[in-house]
């Protein structure tokens, strides 16, 4: 009987120690994205460097830059056949920071 009580007590202490060593809650993050703007149909404007800098000053950390819009444009005069194509890429920027007030 003593062995059983001792075994139960040891298991309870081991369970308590394992529970106390569980990983702490992960921090919560806010996320924000900065996308290119469509100024008129099929015309886009890149994100401004000042906007990116102001987000960095507010504590936002840049975590990814991905191509968001691929746009092919013909360049040159119409008398050239075929007109040369130029591909423009408009990136999207993704930021994160720790949630404030948690």
- Does residue 22 form part of some domain? no
DSSP reduced 3-state for 72:
strand
- Does residue 12 form part of some domain? no
The model carries a pTM of 0.63
| 61-74, strands of its sheet edge to edge | 29-34, 85-98, 61-74
- Does residue 45 form part of some domain? yes
Nearest-angstrom CA–CA distance, 1 and 3: 5
Tens-digit pLDDT profile for residues 43-79: 889 999 999 999 999 999 999 999 998 887 777 677 7
Domain that includes residue 63, residue range:
27-98
The two three-digit tokens of residue 52, written as one number: 């990116």
- Does residue 62 form part of some domain? yes
- Does residue 88 form part of some domain? yes
- Does residue 4 form part of some domain? no
How many domains are there within the chain? 1
């Amino acid at each position: 009987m003593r062995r059983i009580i001792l075994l139960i007590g040891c298991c309870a202490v081991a369970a308590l120690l394992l529970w106390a060593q569980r990983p702490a809650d992960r921090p919560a993050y806010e996320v924000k994205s900065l996308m290119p703007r469509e100024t008129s149909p099929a015309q886009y404007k890149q994100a401004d460097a000042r906007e990116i800098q102001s987000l960095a000053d507010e504590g936002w950390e840049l975590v990814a830059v991905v191509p968001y819009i691929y746009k092919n444009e013909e360049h040159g005069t119409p008398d050239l056949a075929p007109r040369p194509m130029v591909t423009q890429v408009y990136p999207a920027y993704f930021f994160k920071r720790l949630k404030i007030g948690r």
